[in-house]
A and B are shown apart, each in its own frame.
Chain A
Amino acid sequence: MKTINYVLTGLGGQGILFMTKILATAALNKGYNILGAETHGMAQRGGSVVSHLRIGDARSSLIRAGAADFLLSMDESEAYRYLPYLKKGGKLFVNAPFDAFPDKRVAEWLEKNSIEPRAMEASKKAMELGAPRSTNLAMVAFYSAFGYGPLSTDDLRATVDDMSPGQFKETNLRIFDVCYETGRSMV
């Protein structure tokens, strides 16, 4: 299989590592090899956080600019910051208001590179459903609705089910389902 590259971004405290683990575990369960790179230390103190995840038989952990298949961002500004990593025709998923994204200055570049942006207010949805810290899995569900890549919605939902601690399981799965439906309505 050709290596599939995910760049996941957001701010310190939003749970990028957990988001990476959901995707990685789902991939592992399907028998794929995985390699990833994450941010530690200084940059975590309120800074911008980025995680690279490669599904397939890669040797190097970093995704180069212009080579990411998918960019999932939990923050609008961070989505812009890591745009250069998306390849031509790559897919962009952002936690941002649907009608206010993207910035006009970026729209032209996205179009030129055949990148169709998809936005959903994931943090707002997670908050409404009672778990603001589950924005990360809201984004995973939203992404899964479009059916891209080697991981299906069922794979990802089952992984969220497995990985959510008992008292959060029900809420997390509800957030997953709601955000999946939001994504479906945009397909």
Chain B
Amino acid sequence: MKQEFLLGNGAMALGILEAGCQIMTSYPGTPSSEILPEVVRFSKAFNLNTSIEWSINEKVAFDNAFAASISGKRACCCMKMVGLNVAADSFMSAAYIGNIGGLVIISCDDPGPHSSQTEQDSRLMARLGKVPVLDPANPEEAREMIKTAFDLSEEFQVPVMVRPAIRVCHARQNVKYDVLENNLTKADFKREPTRWASTPKFRFLQHKALNKKHIKISEKFNTLKPFNMHTLEKQKHYPFGVVTGGVPSSVVQDMFEEYGRNDIPILKLGAPYPFPEKLADEFMDACDKVLVIEETDTLIEYLLRDKRKTLGRLSGHVPMEGELVPEKIEGVLNKTLSDCELSPLSDHDCGQEAFSLVGGLELPIRKPTLCSGCPHRASFYSIRKALPKALFPSDIGCYTLGSNLGVVDTVLDMGAGITMASGFWNAYIQDDVQKPIVATMGDSTFFHSGTTALINAVYNDSRFILVILDNHITAMTGMQPSITQGDRVDGRKGNAIALETIVKGCGIDYLKVIDPFDTKNMIQTVKDAAKYVNDPEGGIAVIISRHPCVIGFKDTAIPEKIKVKITDECNECGFCHLRFECPSMYSDKETGKTEINEVLCAECGVCLQICPQNAIEKA
């Protein structure tokens, strides 16, 4: 028996392999990104022959897992919650069709949001797709739930979702584990066109069958201990109870224990959908009022039948947005208990006085910024220098931080850097205005969902410059390998695909490849591209701005290190640290002079090219 202080994502990886999962697919995204690499680590440690892939996007990941599952194998695909939007078409269809080998979807939520564009609640996607869902409270429970999810999925032949929130994924817990073994099930797809390729007539029947499965699963969920349970004592009636699930349930249980409040019963719904009606009715019958504390939206609150007894988001007792951090839950409970004329948990102000004191200290605002030596910074500098008046649609990745440099006007979702560019073009050209547009997108995002957008734009004759920021890696989510390098997650070699091939294949005739560290060349390249775009015989111009990520390729990204110093020519304009936003430059508080932080400096030397006073030179 081994023990590790494991990330929640690591505990889930264990659960996946303990369940005998044979096929694992994913696309990275916070907070889900570490699950798949942990599956790789444990598979290697125990010599398992798990098939593991970073897929090109979430839909592809889902489909690959689904095909394995209908061949009889246990399969799992994981993603962040907005990734499930990308896979939604497959997800909904698969629920109707059903599966053979257990199929588990792990969709990781980001209430806050900490690192996402929405706070959407995957449990509601599960409800929409009629997919059963389990909602873990902490890493250890997530690991157990994944095993239950595989069993349920196989028993009822329906995909099952596990929805860990960020506080499960990025919690750490001591976890014990034993030897893991291979699942030896062989692929054996049995032809059945009315099921696997069903037409609408059969879809109706599949829908009907799915609804029947739900009645059975709901019955099962009534007694699915310890995930679903209440703390009612027999024959006892209570003025007030709490209905909860997922991360908030662990907070409520800890807090009631700490404050000795066993007078308040809890209904914990770790498996909230299909709704365990009987269990919930028992609880509602025994309580005059219940408060629903769930994350992030209102699934349980909608599904509870007696709204007159129910307090929660819809009654205004629980905030409608943001993460339910423990002090917020304490505040909600204190207020609700007082409203119900019961004694509150505590007389704490939940940190309010201290937070307002701290708020008045004017502490430094530490906005995220591109790393020291990041090639994206150099690209953004040159783009802005070449075409300051252009529109700048961009995308999701580290380079979203280009907004700090004034070169990111829009961020919608993965792939929208290009679709927004063609959309802007269409909107302006209708008025006979040739709007200059420079779209930016990373290499991984381009593969994820840029190609369809680019083909569409070429076909419909939109005009803009697309700069593909090719750093050879998916940096923001933790340095996953890029398709352009051909490295696969388990160390095997894949087939590298060159961006140039794809770009040309999308119908692009104008393609330049440059290194952004030479800003003079990049500025000229962007200007030349603008001429091509405006030429009646021209089209979309693509520039691949290629330089490896300085973190992911620490030893090779800057082959020629250049130490720099600031000369007396410096007039403290602040361009280098305020506008160019190099984290290694700062204005010394005492002397007021611009200085270089040598510990942080990546020695890329790009600053030699950007100082308006020419006051930076080689040291």
Q: Which of A42, A46, A85, A103 contacts B583 (CB 8 A)?
A: A46
Give the contacts of A116-163 with B (CB-CB under 8 A).
132
* With A21-B5, A45-B401, A84-B355: A59-B253 Cβ-Cβ less than 8 Å: yes
Kindly name the residue among B361, B476, B477, B599 whose own CB sees the greatest number of chain A CB atoms within 10 A. B361
Q: A67 — nearest CB in chain B belongs to which residue?
A: B326
Interface size classification for chain B: 35 or more
Report the interface size for chain A: residues with CB under 8 A from the other chain: 45
Judging by beta carbons under 8 Å apart, are B367 and A36 in contact?
no
**Closest Cβ of chain A: how far from B538's Cβ, in Å?**
37
Is residue A8 within 8 Å, beta carbon to beta carbon, of the partner chain? no
B170 within 8 A of A: yes
The answer to whether B173 and A83 have CB atoms under 8 Å apart is no
Q: Closest CB of chain A to B13's CB: distance in Å?
A: 16
User: Which of chain B's residues have a CB closer than 8 A to the CB of A24?
Assistant: 5, 172, 174
Collect the chain A residues with CB atoms within 8 Å of residue B366's CB.
11, 46-48
Q: Taking CB as reference atom, which chain A residue is nearest B3?
A: A28
Among B41-49, B233-241, B346-354, the one that faces the other chain is B346-354
Contact A36 B368 (CB under 8 A): no
User: Max chain B CB contacts within 10 Å: which of A24, A48, A60, A85?
Assistant: A60
**With contact pairs A36-B171, A38-B172 given, residues A81 and B358 touching in the complex (Cβ less than 8 Å):** yes
Q: A25 an interface residue at 8 Å Cβ cutoff?
A: yes
List, in ascending order, chain B residues with CB within 8 A of A46's CB.
366, 368-369, 371, 583
Which A residues touch B583, using CB under 8 A? 46
For the complex, give the distance between the alpha carbons of A33 and B599 in Å. 37
Contact check, B250 vs A59: say whether CB atoms are below 8 A apart. yes
A25 to B583 alpha-carbon distance, docked (Å): 33
Contact of A83 among B5, B325, B358 (CB under 8 A): B358
Which of A28, A36, A38, A103 makes the CB contact (< 8 A) with B361? A103
Taking CB atoms and an 8 Å cut-off, the chain B residues in 136-178 that contact chain A are 137-138, 167, 170-174
Contact with B along A57-89 (1 / 0, CB 8 A): 011111111110000000001001101110000
Which of B5, B170, B330, B600 has the most C-beta atoms of chain A within 10 angstroms of its own C-beta?
A: B5
A13 to B583, CA, bound (A): 12
Contact A25 B326 (CB under 8 A): no
Q: How many A-B residue pairs have CB under 8 A?
A: 143
When distances are taken between beta carbons in the complex, the residues of chain B under 8 Å from A85 are 351
Fill in one digit per residue for B568-588: 1 if any A CB lies within 8 Å of its CB, else 0.
Answer: 000000000000000100000
B138–A84 CB distance below 8 A: no
Q: When the two chains form the complex, which single residue of A42, A59, A64 contacts B115, counting CB atoms closer than 8 Å?
A: A42
Within 8 A of A (CB), among B332-386: 348, 350-351, 353-355, 357-358, 360-361, 363-364, 366-371
Q: A105 contacts which of B172, B357, B478 (Cβ < 8 Å)?
A: B357
CB of A116 to closest CB in B, whole Å: 16
**8 other A-B residue contacts (CB within 8 Å) besides A46-B366, A46-B369:** A37-B172, A38-B172, A42-B30, A43-B368, A59-B137, A60-B138, A60-B167, A81-B363
Name B residues whose Cβ lies closer than 8 Å to a Cβ of A. 3, 5, 30-31, 114-115, 137-138, 167, 170-174, 247, 250-251, 253-255, 325-327, 329-330, 348, 350-351, 353-355, 357-358, 360-361, 363-364, 366-371, 398, 401, 476-478, 583, 599-600
A sample of 22 cross-chain residue pairs with beta-carbon separation below 8 angstroms, ordered by A number, consists of A3-B254, A20-B172, A28-B3, A33-B174, A35-B138, A37-B167, A39-B170, A40-B170, A42-B114, A42-B476, A43-B368, A45-B368, A46-B366, A46-B583, A47-B367, A58-B250, A64-B326, A64-B327, A66-B350, A66-B354, A105-B360, A109-B357
